[in-house]
Amino acid sequence: MRFRLWAQVCVALAVNLLLLCTLAAILIAQQTRSGVQSFLYAPARERIRELGIQVEEEFPGKPEAERTAWLAKLQQGTGVTLAVYNDRGMLVAGPDLGPPPSVMKEIQREENNRPPQRQNRPARRKRPPMFFLKDGTPSQYWFGYNFPIVLQQGNPPVRHTLAVAAPSLLTSPFLLNWYPLAGGAALALVLTTLCWIPVVRRVTRSIQIVRNASAEIARGRFDVAIPVRSGDELGDLAASIRRMSEQLAHLVQGQTRFLADVAHELCAPLARIQLSAGILEERAPADQTALVQRLERDITQMSALVADLLSFTKGTVRKPELVPVAMEGLAQLVALQEHVEGTQVRVEIPGALKVLADTEYLQRALANLVRNAIRYAGDSGPVTISALSQGGTVRISVQDSGPGLPPSDLENIFSPFYRPDTVRTPGSAGAGLGLAIVKGCVEACNGSVSCRNRNPGLEVVIELAQAA
């Protein structure tokens, strides 16, 4: 069943919102309990009502000093100040809070339309009225709880008000309990995480796989695996990249075989032309010898270009045979073969170091690097072949002491037929295939190659797997 990515995101979002709305409704219902009240006022009102009931039970028969001490003990650590006033606005217990006129009006408000109580029937406790104001200088929050109380036995009950003054609703633990809010926020975060992590993880993992595969294809490795088989847009993208990789592989392979066939077919005619040019030079008159020699030089240059084409195409035509190769012996052989009078090639490789590679391909890559270094920097100092092991990978380095390359050329230097502007001079040797041959041979051995400027000189680094 194909379930599109946008549908998965919409479903996850809908479930997330449903859970959050349900959680918010439960918390609001628990805090307000009845009616549509202020979210912050509801819990404070319930605590003040409970405190008023305690005052109603504790105050009868006690002197004012004891009542004040009891209130002072009760308000410790709450962040609020408590006081009790009678219906005339006179202080009965606690410190005088100096209520502003709006609060004093609520304290002195008379209860109207109170139904008379029938004798010999206990009066049912009704929820007394409460008020909530913000007034005063400086501004404070005022809560009031109105209740009847008998301070002295034998007297009728008198309406009193428990006044609560707080400078802020948010900093008083008595008025606002942060624990349910923090717990609800934590639970909402957990639910959100549980809803989104599976979808996000699958999407990001698929994108990472596709990105890595695209990078491998960009490096010329078209047989990369893309294990994304989902039925959404990411699965379609992975399938498209797989098809693109296969088509690119066929195109590149066809192009390489075409170059190989053309270069191979050119070898025989060029050999015959070169032989004919040699015979022509022997029989040519003295005044035409220079022309025949120029023809021979052109033929020799064309033969070298065809040889480079054949060498370039061999890295993809023949399947490599990866075997353990002793680096020191191979580097010494390359240094001996490529040695030119007046230059020095040094080998600095541990004797026991081995890499997993195709011997012919690796030798061809090293030979091209050494030949290139000697051609462009042989007069500036020695060419050094070194290697070291780093966590299962061997870094083979070919260094020279020449002028190096412009930074803009470092990324393109391994492209076929690319030659830096600094060497594009009339009569300069090479067709820009030397480093392309190096890259093809190294990648055929499952390795990578890069270059960087030194101070002075250029360093080309080949990375291959280390062999036991």
Tens of pLDDT along 439-455? 888 988 889 999 999 88
- Coil, strand or helix at 130: strand
The average pLDDT across 120-142 equals 69
Total H helices, total E strands in the chain: 10, 12
- Coil, strand or helix at 160: strand
User: Helices 5-32 and 233-283, interaxial angle, to 10°?
Assistant: 150
The average pLDDT across 17-29 equals 73
Q: What is the pLDDT of residue 35?
A: 41
pTM given for the model = 0.48
Whether the per-residue pLDDT at 389 is higher than 50: the answer is: yes
Q: What is the pLDDT of residue 316?
A: 54
Helix-, strand-, coil-residue percentages of the chain, each rounded to 5: 50, 15, 35
Higher pLDDT, 8 or 226: 226
Whether the per-residue pLDDT at 76 is higher than 60: the answer is: yes
Window from 3-7, 101-105, 151-155, 232-236 with minimum mean pLDDT: 3-7
Q: How far is CA 95 from CA 65, 315, 447, in A?
A: 11, 96, 85
Q: What is the pLDDT of residue 34?
A: 44
Q: Which of 120-129, 318-327, 384-393 has the highest mean pLDDT?
A: 384-393
Task: Locate the DSSP E strands across 196-269.
Answer: none
Q: What is the pLDDT of residue 289?
A: 82
- Coil, strand or helix at 463: strand
The average pLDDT across 195-214 equals 84
- How far apart CA 58 and CA 150 sit, in angstroms, is 11
Tokens at 298, concatenated: 């052109």
The average pLDDT across 340-351 equals 88
Whether the per-residue pLDDT at 21 is higher than 80: the answer is: no
Question: 330 falls in which pLDDT band (50, 70, 90)?
Answer: very high
- How far apart CA 190 and CA 222 sit, in angstroms, is 42
- The DSSP 8-state label assigned to residue 422 in this structure reads G
User: Helices 5-32 and 41-58, interaxial angle, to 10°?
Assistant: 20
Contacts of 409 (CB under 8 A, 6+ apart): 420
Question: 431 falls in which pLDDT band (50, 70, 90)?
Answer: low
Write the pLDDT tens digit of every residue in 134-186: 887 788 888 888 888 877 777 788 888 989 988 887 777 777 666 776 777 78
Write the pLDDT tens digit of every residue in 88-112: 889 988 898 889 998 898 888 764 4
Q: What is the pLDDT of residue 395?
A: 94
Q: Which of 39-43, 238-242, 280-284 has the highest mean pLDDT?
A: 238-242
- pLDDT above 70 as % of the chain: 85
The average pLDDT across 206-231 equals 82
The average pLDDT across 245-273 equals 80
The average pLDDT across 358-365 equals 90
Q: What is the pLDDT of residue 30?
A: 63
Q: Which amino acid is at 185?
A: A
- pLDDT above 90 as % of the chain: 13
Q: What is the pLDDT of residue 19?
A: 81
Nearest to 373 by CA among 318, 445, 281, 435: 435
Question: 422 falls in which pLDDT band (50, 70, 90)?
Answer: low
The average pLDDT across 408-412 equals 79
Strands 383-390 and 345-348, bridge-based pairing: parallel
Q: Which of 189-193, 257-261, 385-389 has the highest mean pLDDT?
A: 385-389
Whether the per-residue pLDDT at 209 is higher than 80: the answer is: yes
Whether the per-residue pLDDT at 121 is higher than 50: the answer is: no
Question: 128 falls in which pLDDT band (50, 70, 90)?
Answer: low
The average pLDDT across 273-293 equals 83
- How far apart CA 53 and CA 382 sit, in angstroms, is 98
Q: What is the pLDDT of residue 125?
A: 46
Which residues face 384 on adjacent strands? 346, 399
Q: What is the pLDDT of residue 349?
A: 92
Whether the per-residue pLDDT at 425 is higher than 50: the answer is: no
Nearest to 62 by CA among 153, 187, 189: 153
Q: What is the pLDDT of residue 2?
A: 64
Q: What is the pLDDT of residue 36?
A: 38
Write the pLDDT tens digit of every residue in 45-74: 778 888 888 888 888 878 888 888 988 888
